[in-house]
Amino acid sequence: MMKDQSGSQAIAVEIVEYDIEESVRRRYEAGAQQMEPQLCCPTDYEGDYLGCLPQEIIEKDYGCGDPTRYVRPGETVVDLGSGVGKNCYIIAQKVGASGQVIGVDFNDEMLTIARQYQDEIASKIGYHNTKFVKAKIQDLKLDLDQANQWLAQHPVTNISDLSDFESHCDRLRQQEPLIADHSVDVVVSNCVLNLVKPQDKKQLFGEIFRVLKKGGRAVISDIVCDEPPTQKILDDPDLWSGCIAGAFLEDEFLAMFEQAGFYGIEILSRQIEPWQTIDGIEFRSMTIQAFKGKQGPCWERKQAVVYKGPWKAVLDDDEHTFERGQRTAVCDKTLQILTSPTSPYKDDFIAILPYEDIPLEEAEAYDCSRTNLRHPKETKGGDYTITKTSTDDATCAPGCC
């Protein structure tokens, strides 16, 4: 993998002779009109949620995994590259009437089919909680339906028109962002991120991060490869639009989330058998989960955690090391990240709270750049000299000890 000037891993930007975006758009226009078996990677969805979907939505499935199984009631979910809406309509049932699903696609044919069934499915499930919008997933502020309307009245015929159009798009992004900052609980996507041009991929992960609320998460199924695609593969537009040439290297996929500022990045599933093998390179589906919310101030509230094991030690995304069995001091934010009920680490850590609570407004800044241990006396307080034996405890049940 290439490194950029800051030393971090960067997606290789290979030069190809064709317009990647246009070839993707055309391939999925055709795939919306007629089901294309070559684009289908067999996927098991939970059957209970398919019953109310029309056959067309079930069949025109070009996903490669099932991110829908990881959403919860009441959540606001954005589906990147929603196609005919299969994942959105499954999620609509899972999040329920108090949740919301927004499908994003840049393909009119796909959007038309997805929107066509909205009322029918809403009446079957008993509520209306889906919306389908037109945008590039690497530019979630710009509403392409609005941009199109402006273009219809202001055709671009020269550079000056183009500059006016670009200014109008910037105004839309600033004043009427399609998907606002920090507005979404979960971003899902099923077999789409690989289709984005290499030079836009970093921006794409930045957009996923931007729209998520603090504490929100991304659950993304996509195609990964075990070795870099050869130039012959990259040069084939059908392999690009067929989710092969743009596949992420397995480790690169996880690194992209890390570089965008996510934590708790985890492989939820990885196909054992490859979906396709080309020139000895294996392409398979992988589903990743990643959380937003490690940014922000660190406050000292005399809290600690104990890592339960079984590993001898673990390292988090802020470079803190937690040794098995040790009372490691943490700031308030790290305590929440490690032990809250929705934490990916919640089963791995024991929270040790001070006997006397320090209110957040009285807490001092905590230096989170080092890993420190917390002495038990800090937890209990300096003047803690109590003596209490088991026989003093009146609540001890008969036969206990």
Ligand X SMILES: C[S@@+](CC[C@H](N)C(=O)[O-])C[C@H]1O[C@@H](n2cnc3c(N)ncnc32)[C@H](O)[C@@H]1O
Under 8 Å between Cβ of 46 and 71: no
**Residue 110 sits in the site that holds ligand X (CB under 6 A):** yes
Task: Please identify which residue in 94, 136, 141, 301 interacts with ligand X, judged by CB under 6 A.
Answer: 136
Task: Please identify which residue in 28, 283, 345, 366 interacts with ligand X, judged by CB under 6 A.
Answer: 28
Is 286 or 331 the residue whose CB approaches ligand X more closely? 286
Residue 138's nearest CA partner among 86, 84, 194, 92 is: 194
Q: How far apart are CA 94 and CA 68, in angstroms?
A: 8
Stretch that binds ligand X, among 59-67, 171-179, 347-355, 380-388 (CB under 6 A): 59-67
Task: Please identify which residue in 66, 105, 143, 236 interacts with ligand X, judged by CB under 6 A.
Answer: 105
Q: How far apart are CA 65 and CA 52, in angstroms?
A: 20
**Residue 229 sits in the site that holds ligand X (CB under 6 A):** no
Task: Please identify which residue in 83, 229, 237, 246 interacts with ligand X, judged by CB under 6 A.
Answer: 83
In the shown chain, the binding pattern of residues 236 to 255 toward ligand X, with x for contact by CB under 6 A and - for none, equals: -------x------------
- Tokens (6 digits) for 211: 């729209």
Quote the least distance from Cβ 118 to ligand X, whole Å.
Answer: 16
Task: Please identify which residue in 133, 137, 208, 239 interacts with ligand X, judged by CB under 6 A.
Answer: 137
Judging by beta carbons within 10 Å of its beta carbon (0-12, 13-18, 19+), is residue 198 exposed, middle or buried? middle
φ, ψ for residue 389 (rounded to 5)? Answer: -105, 170
**Residue 349 sits in the site that holds ligand X (CB under 6 A):** no
Q: How far apart are CA 314 and CA 266, in angstroms?
A: 14
Quote the least distance from Cβ 314 to ligand X, whole Å.
Answer: 34
Stretch that binds ligand X, among 80-88, 244-252, 338-346, 354-362 (CB under 6 A): 80-88
**Residue 61 sits in the site that holds ligand X (CB under 6 A):** yes
Task: Please identify which residue in 62, 89, 240, 257 interacts with ligand X, judged by CB under 6 A.
Answer: 62
Quote the least distance from Cβ 371 to ligand X, whole Å.
Answer: 41
Is 113 or 368 the residue whose CB approaches ligand X more closely? 113
Q: How far apart are CA 221 and CA 248, in angstroms?
A: 11
Q: How far apart are CA 203 and CA 223, in angstroms?
A: 19
Quote the least distance from Cβ 105 to ligand X, whole Å.
Answer: 5
User: How many CB atoms are closer than 10 A to CB 134?
Assistant: 20
In this structure, is the dihedral angle defined by the CA atoms of residues 225, 285, 79 and 77, taken in order, positive or negative?
Answer: negative
Q: How far apart are CA 377 and CA 379, in angstroms?
A: 5
Residues of span 158-197 touching ligand X by CB under 6 A: 190-192, 195-196
Quote the least distance from Cβ 101 to ligand X, whole Å.
Answer: 13
Is 81 or 293 the residue whose CB approaches ligand X more closely? 81
User: How many CB atoms are closer than 10 A to CB 183?
Assistant: 15
Could you give the 3-state DSSP secondary structure of residue 38?
Answer: helix
**Residue 205 sits in the site that holds ligand X (CB under 6 A):** no
**Residue 371 sits in the site that holds ligand X (CB under 6 A):** no
Is 140 or 254 the residue whose CB approaches ligand X more closely? 140
In this structure, is the dihedral angle defined by the CA atoms of residues 150, 155, 161 and 163, taken in order, positive or negative?
Answer: positive
Q: What is the distance in angstroms between the CA of the first residue and the CA of the last residue of the chain?
A: 60
Is 139 or 318 the residue whose CB approaches ligand X more closely? 139
- What radius of gyration, in Å, describes the C-alpha atoms of the chain? 25
Q: How far apart are CA 219 and CA 35, in angstroms?
A: 26
Quote the least distance from Cβ 192 to ligand X, whole Å.
Answer: 4
Is 275 or 349 the residue whose CB approaches ligand X more closely? 275
**Residue 289 sits in the site that holds ligand X (CB under 6 A):** no
Quote the least distance from Cβ 295 to ligand X, whole Å.
Answer: 26
CB burial string 21-37: b at 16+ within 10 A, e below: bebbbebbeebbeeeee
Under 8 Å between Cβ of 27 and 19: no
**Residue 90 sits in the site that holds ligand X (CB under 6 A):** no
Q: How far apart are CA 218 and CA 188, in angstroms?
A: 6
Query: Which stretches of the chain bind ligand X, using CB under 6 A?
Result: 24, 28, 61-63, 81-83, 86-87, 105-107, 110, 136-138, 190-192, 195-196, 243
